[in-house]
Amino acid sequence: MHTLNDELIEKDLKYVWHPCSQMKDYEELKPIIVKKGEGVNLYSVDDKKYIDVVSSWWCNLLGHCNKRISNAVKQQLDTLEHVIFANFSHPKAIELCEKLANLLPVGLEKFCFTDNGSSAIEAAMKMSFQYHYQTGNPQKTRFMALSDAYHGETIGALSVGGVDLYSEIYKPVLLDIIRIQGPDCYRCPFGLNCKNCEAQCINFAQESFKKWGNESCAIVIEPLVQAAAGMKIYSPKYLNKLRKLCDEYNVHLIADEIATGYGRTGKMFACDHAGISPDIMCLSKGLTGGYMPMALAVTTKKIFNAFYAPYSEGKAFMHSHTYSGNPLACAAACEVLNILRDENIIEKAQEKAIYFNKIINEKFSNFKFVGDIRSIGLINAIELVKNKNSKEPFDSKLRIGYQIYKEALKYGVILRPLGNVIYFNPPLIIEKDDMNYVTDVAYKCVKKVLD
Ligand SMILES: *Cc1c(COP(=O)(O)O)cnc(C)c1O
């Protein structure tokens, strides 16, 4: 029988080129057509329930179809859907900036709106270059970034990224980046433990700053969690030391909090763990609760002032996106902040995080192919390795993570892996029952694939 689901799948495969996918895989694993979302759950057209334990690529913060966010967007929809953002503004954009300015690390108070994370990174890079150009340092033309970084997919953002899977093939057209060996706590080259080390790996950055600091505009980093690299977590001390280096060499610190912001690490922003203020912070994903594509590059008055001059001096930041400051997205973003405040979401998520991490450790720590379990906030990642002692990884061609993913889908859990790292990064509102269920399913599936 040809069901509605079959028909939709057929048409999907006829037309859609899905992101980050080898489309040939879809011959075997068909796209799941989702008709409805509610809380942490998604419901497919063929009436299966899936727990969205990856927050739909880390953006869904407070559950699907959250009543308060939905109502805020509905209201905005009947008032003003969009307006040009040059020379014009609107109440929700202003409200959002004022609210965020009170929550962000000190000094971040000028808001540049873009419409996705990658383009916020691009804006930050251009802003940093132009700042130095206009303040007597035109020799500063290069960018620094860490190994295993991920900052998005557009050419500039991809250039600062250091995950070969995404960028290798495009190298001939990418910017020439100064790549710094970043923290790697599971395979620490100094044999230290990140819970009590002094971030000795800052040495690699020190050397690069010495050599190239004078010609560098900025270093772009993901504070505390290199998410796309497999939820690699490092010490806040590294951030403190990097902040000092940046000051010493007049290099901007661009904190990409697109994945780490909004309570994902247990605090509002990952930078808060180190108590540092970056020169530019990029936000997206949780910013709108996962409702709308919007992003921000937030910066300081100091940077802003280097662009502030009579028009004839040509110092303006001539950067724009058609959908800059979209009112629907701003309405969602304002309501997200209201909910975080009214419902104490981040504090409560911290209690849940302790529980989640405990049950994951209990289940997985003795399993012979589990090399590392790392966690921060509600993010928990399990790195599967061929050999626990040597930490030798599984051959990526075996697609261990992908097999586990397919298995978990049968039980209605979305465990989309990062290589051989399976991870949980659920909406902050997840409850115990669901944490228990996804942990059990993950264990069952890891065992089935590896044992
Ligand atoms: C997702 C992500 C981006 C890119 O954002 P898009 O909206 O997908 O362009 C950049 N940096 C980090 C850390 C991310 O997780």
Maximum C-alpha span of the chain = 71
Angle between helices 432-450 and 400-410 (to 10 degrees): 130
Residue found by looking up tokens 């059990």 in the block: 440
Task: Please name every residue paired with 370 in a beta bridge, in sequence order, or none if there are none.
Answer: 384
Name the one residue in this structure whose structure tokens are 């959908």.
Answer: 323
Residue with tokens 């970043």: 182
Of the candidates 207, 217, 126, 214, the one whose C-alpha atom is nearest the C-alpha of residue 177 is 217
* Cα of 259 from ligand 1 centre, angstroms: 7
Residue 285 CA to ligand 1 centre (angstroms)? 7
The encoded tokens of residue 104 equal 């962000």
* Atom number in ligand 1 closest to CA 257: 13
Q: What is the pTM of this model?
A: 0.98
- Nearest-CA residue for ligand 1 atom 5 is 117
- The C-alpha atoms of residue 325 and residue 337 are separated, in whole angstroms, by 16
In the chain, CATH 3.40.640.10 sits at 70-342
Atom of ligand 1 minimally distant from the CA of 119: 9
Distance 282 CA to ligand 1 centre (A): 9
Which ligand 1 atom sits nearest the alpha carbon of residue 222? Answer: 13
Residues of the chain with CATH 3.90.1150.10: 32-65+344-450
Which atom of ligand 1 is found nearest the CA of 59?
Answer: 1
**CA of 362 relative to ligand 1 center, distance in Å:** 32
Going from the Cα of 168 to the center of ligand 1, the distance in angstroms, rounded, reads 18
The answer to whether residues 384 and 369 touch, using CB atoms and an 8 Å cutoff, is yes
Instruction: Extract the tokens encoding 118.
Output: 């990658």
Question: Which residue's CA lies nearest to atom 15 of ligand 1?
Answer: 259
In whole angstroms, what is the distance from residue 241 CA to residue 248 CA? 11
41-44, strands of its sheet edge to edge = 34-38, 41-44, 49-51
Q: Are 298 and 99 in contact (CB under 8 A)?
A: no
Ligand 1 pocket test target in 61, 122, 256, 258 with most atoms within 8 Å of CB? 258
Sign of the alpha-carbon torsion through 398, 401, 406, 407: positive
What spacing in Å lies between the alpha carbon of 157 and ligand 1's midpoint?
Answer: 9
CB of 151 shorter than 6 A to ligand 1? yes
Distance 424 CA to ligand 1 centre (A): 17
CA 25 to ligand 1 centroid distance, Å: 24
The Cα 100–Cα 94 span in angstroms is: 10
115 touches ligand 1 (CB under 6 Å): no
Q: Is the CB of 288 under 6 A from ligand 1?
A: no
Q: How far is the CA of 36 from the centre of ligand 1 (A)?
A: 25
What's the CATH number for 32-65+344-450?
Answer: 3.90.1150.10
Q: Which atom of ligand 1 is nearest to the CA of 121?
A: 10
CA of 118 to the centre of ligand 1 (A): 6
The residue whose CA has the least distance to atom 7 of ligand 1 is 117
Per-residue pLDDT of the chain in tens (451 residues, 90 and over written 9): 789 999 999 999 999 999 999 999 999 999 999 999 999 999 999 999 999 999 999 999 999 999 999 999 999 999 999 999 999 999 999 999 999 999 999 999 999 999 999 999 999 999 999 999 999 999 999 999 999 999 999 999 999 999 988 999 999 999 999 999 999 999 999 999 988 899 999 999 999 999 999 999 999 999 999 999 999 999 999 999 999 999 999 999 999 999 999 999 999 999 999 999 999 999 999 999 999 999 999 999 999 999 999 999 999 999 999 999 999 999 999 999 999 999 999 999 999 999 999 999 999 999 999 999 999 999 999 999 999 999 999 999 999 999 999 999 999 999 999 999 999 999 999 999 999 999 999 999 999 999 8
- Measured from the Cβ of residue 89, the count of other Cβ atoms closer than 10 Å reads 14
Matching residue, tokens 């967007």: 73
Q: Is 284 in the pocket of ligand 1 (CB under 6 A)?
A: yes
- β-partners of residue 283 are 296
The class that CATH gives domain 70-342 is: alpha beta
Q: Which of 56, 121, 125, 284 to mutate to test the pocket of ligand 1 (most atoms within 8 A of CB)?
A: 284
